[in-house]
Amino acid sequence: MNALHPASHQARDIASLWWWMLGGSWIGFLLVAGLLGAAWIRRRRAGPSEAVSTRIVVALGVVVPILVIATLFFISDVFVIRTTQAPAANATKLTVRVIGHQWWWEVRYAGTTAVTANEIHIPTRTPVLLQATSADVIHSFWVPELNRKIDTIPGQVNEIELDADTPGVYRGACAEYCGVQHAHMALAVYAQPPAAFRRWLAQQERPAKVSRTAGAALFLDGTCSQCHTIRGTSATGDAGPDLTHLASRATIAALTLANTPADLAAWITRNQEIKPGNRMVDVRISPAHLRALVAYLRSLR
């Protein structure tokens, strides 16, 4: 998740800004270091007169900085900012709503029933409006390879644009300290060719297939359904991530673990050890029931 490996025109503009500023900074630093170096070399001899020194201070300390900073201000805050600020109304065709939770991301697609978590799919070469808010405390949505960050603040909707150049997985993370598990609040943006994205979205919109397995019964009759939703079943809890298509995701717990049977089982029974303080409880369950439950969750494609 490197800000200097841009994968969108926004991130590319910011990265070029950085390289120019880095170059300018080197000149400034070498200038000061050169003056101090000269003072070291000439330390036994007197330097310029007071009048000359004052003129140099005014030139290097007032005139040059005003020119440099005015240029930087003009380029970054008049031009570059146009690409990184929120897109104009109706300029985008797809809207993704991201809601920060302690410590995971809820993801909704405007105008559809699709709900997922932590893994955001977007079509490539398509401007996407991302609307960010929070269900609890302030978080910050940040995918450095695609754009600058935007805070998610309760009672407020903030917007940025995502527009990935090429298909790929772009890691992101919560950047605003949000409590004990701030460190485990990552996310991933999956940029897909538009056709593949449309297939994915259509599949995410569907409710889960009805299941009569022992695992399904455990989930729906037990405590799981109080916090998690599986669309198309009686599970409608809204404290935790929507699990309707859990098996279509590559990771669980905001990218803390891989979505494998072993990691799922570990998460269900020992999540407080893996991500201490997270809002789920360790589920006490017999090995046979755990296998059935994991099998059910793995069937939610």
12-51 positions binding other proteins, by CB under 8 A: 13-14, 17-18, 21, 25, 28-29, 32-33, 35-36, 38-40, 42-50
Cα(132)–Cα(150) distance, integer angstroms: 8
Smallest separation (angstroms) from other proteins to the CB of 151: 5
Smallest separation (angstroms) from other proteins to the CB of 137: 4
Nearer of residues 123 and 144 to other proteins, judged by Cβ:
144
Task: Kindly give the residue spans of alpha helices, DSSP state H, lying in the chain.
Answer: 9-41, 50-58, 64-74, 81-84, 194-205, 214-221, 224-227, 261-274, 287-298
Q: Figure out which of the listed residues 23, 193, 261, 277 binds other proteins, where binding follows CB under 8 A.
A: 277
Identify any residues that bridge with 129 across adjacent strands, giving them in sequence order. Answer: 95, 161
Structure tokens at 126: 């398509």
Nearer of residues 38 and 202 to other proteins, judged by Cβ:
38
Binding positions for other proteins, 128-167, rule CB under 8 A = 136-138, 140, 142, 144, 148-151, 153-156, 158-159
Q: Put residue 260 in one of left, alpha, beta given phi > 0 → left and psi -120 to 50 → alpha.
A: beta
Nearer of residues 140 and 204 to other proteins, judged by Cβ:
140
Nearer of residues 154 and 193 to other proteins, judged by Cβ:
154
Smallest separation (angstroms) from other proteins to the CB of 237: 20
DSSP 87-120: PPTT--SEEEEEEEETTEEEEEETTS--EEESEE
Binding positions for other proteins, 63-122, rule CB under 8 A = 64-66, 69-70, 72-73, 75-78, 80-81, 83-85, 102
Binding positions for other proteins, 235-274, rule CB under 8 A = none
Nearer of residues 170 and 219 to other proteins, judged by Cβ:
170
Q: For other proteins, which stretch binds (CB under 8 A), given 8-16, 204-212, 264-272, 283-291? A: 8-16
Smallest separation (angstroms) from other proteins to the CB of 200: 25
Smallest separation (angstroms) from other proteins to the CB of 79: 10
List of residues 6+ apart from 137 with CB closer than 8 A: 100, 102, 154, 178, 179
List of residues 6+ apart from 99 with CB closer than 8 A: 105, 106, 107, 108, 132, 133, 134, 135, 152
List of residues 6+ apart from 221 with CB closer than 8 A: none
Q: Which helix (H) or strand (E) is 172 found in, with range?
A: strand 168-174
Cα(245)–Cα(166) distance, integer angstroms: 25
Nearer of residues 179 and 222 to other proteins, judged by Cβ:
179
Smallest separation (angstroms) from other proteins to the CB of 256: 8
Smallest separation (angstroms) from other proteins to the CB of 276: 6
DSSP state of 259: S
Encoded one letter per residue, x for contact with other proteins by CB under 8 A and - for no contact, window 165-204 reads ------x-xxxxxxxxxxx--x------------------
Instruction: Give buried/exposed letters for 117-136 (b at 16+ CB in 10 A, else e).
Output: bbbbbbbbeeebbbbbbbee
- 281: contact with other proteins by CB under 8 A: no
Smallest separation (angstroms) from other proteins to the CB of 263: 14
Cα(73)–Cα(90) distance, integer angstroms: 29
Total residues at interface with other proteins (CB under 8 A): 86
